[in-house]
Amino acid sequence: LPELFDHYSEATVSPFPECGRDLGLYPVVDDVRWIERLLPLGIRTIQLRIKDQPLALVEPQIRQAIALCRNSDCRLFINDYWQLAIEHKAYGVHLGQEDLSDANLAQIRAAGLRLGISSHCHYEVARARSLKPSYIASGPIYPTTSKIMPWQPQGIEGLSYWRKLIPQPLVAIGGIQGDRIKAAHQAGADGVAMISAITASPSPETTVRHLMTLFS
């Protein structure tokens, strides 16, 4: 394995622009209305992850989200829709490994957008690393009901392991809520991404305020 990683780290592609290591609490939401709601709480990193909606509903949300986050100085990563992200000058794009062969990474880089890439296993971590993205997201750390995946939860031990192999900023994702943030942060995560802990909370604002205090 170490040889495999050395080989990948020799790739000569230029790196994507940096996004910093202070990613912090990283809500992943499926509607721009969540962004409107969470920005006033001081969120500094957020992802708009819209799945299974017609493009006519997606584009205006992306446009609005970009404008809102620019005004609030919040790093907005657009999931999947890299062309719209470029067109409307988003902060960054987030892609899964299944998107990497179709997306034009050179175009994303040339437009100055940051790139985050998901990874769930050795092969995916190695592939992500070779592309020198702005950050790599690893998971699922804990069991999650927000995404169906073939991978087992990796636990904090798995996260510590990825930390040793990933030089880029690292985002932990999957089943993270409450005090689990602390463990993920201590294991070296620069950001902690969450869907249901925030969007399924009976009181998302209270939850987010509390979660932000744990990330320090």
* Closest distance of CB 9 from ligand TZP, Å: 24
Has 147 been annotated as catalytic?
yes
Report the first-to-last Cα separation within the chain, whole angstroms.
Answer: 33
Report helix, strand and coil shares of the chain as percent, to nearest 5.
45, 15, 40
Has 70 been annotated as catalytic?
no
Q: What is the DSSP-derived secondary structure letter of residue 153?
A: P
Cβ closest to Mg ion, residue 97 vs residue 201: 97
Active-site pick, 75, 114, 118, 119? 118
Contact of 195 with 211, CB cutoff 8 Å: no
What is the SS3 assignment for 12-54? CCCCCCCCCCCCEEEEEECCHHHHHHHHHHCCCEEEECCCCCC
Q: Which residue has the tokens 């988003």?
A: 90
Does 158 interact with ligand TZP (rule: CB under 6 A)?
A: no
**29: nearest Cα among 83, 73, 68, 87:** 68
Cβ closest to ligand TZP, residue 24 vs residue 109: 24
Size of the residue set binding ligand TZP (CB under 6 A): 14
What is the rounded distance in angstroms from the CA atom of residue 162 to the CA atom of residue 195? Answer: 21
Among positions 123-142, residues that touch ligand TZP (CB under 6 A) are 139-140
Q: Which stretch binds ligand TZP (CB under 6 A): 66-74, 122-130, 157-165, 174-182?
A: 174-182
Does 146 interact with ligand TZP (rule: CB under 6 A)?
A: yes
What is the rounded distance in angstroms from the CA atom of residue 216 to the CA atom of residue 116? Answer: 22
Q: Which stretch binds ligand TZP (CB under 6 A): 81-89, 107-115, 125-133, 170-178?
A: 170-178
Instruction: Say which entry of ligand TZP, Mg ion, none residue 80 contacts (CB below 5 to 8 A, set by partner kind).
Output: Mg ion
Contact of 190 with 135, CB cutoff 8 Å: yes
Does 175 interact with ligand TZP (rule: CB under 6 A)?
A: yes
* Closest distance of CB 52 from Mg ion, Å: 12
Instruction: Say which entry of ligand TZP, Mg ion, none residue 99 contacts (CB below 5 to 8 A, set by partner kind).
Output: Mg ion
Does 45 interact with ligand TZP (rule: CB under 6 A)?
A: no
Among positions 75-134, residues that touch Mg ion (CB under 5 A) are 80, 96, 99
Has 118 been annotated as catalytic?
yes
What is the rounded distance in angstroms from the CA atom of residue 47 to the CA atom of residue 52? Answer: 16
- The set of catalytic residues is 49, 118, 147
Name the residues that contact ligand TZP, by CB under 6 A. 118, 139-140, 144, 146-147, 173-176, 194-197
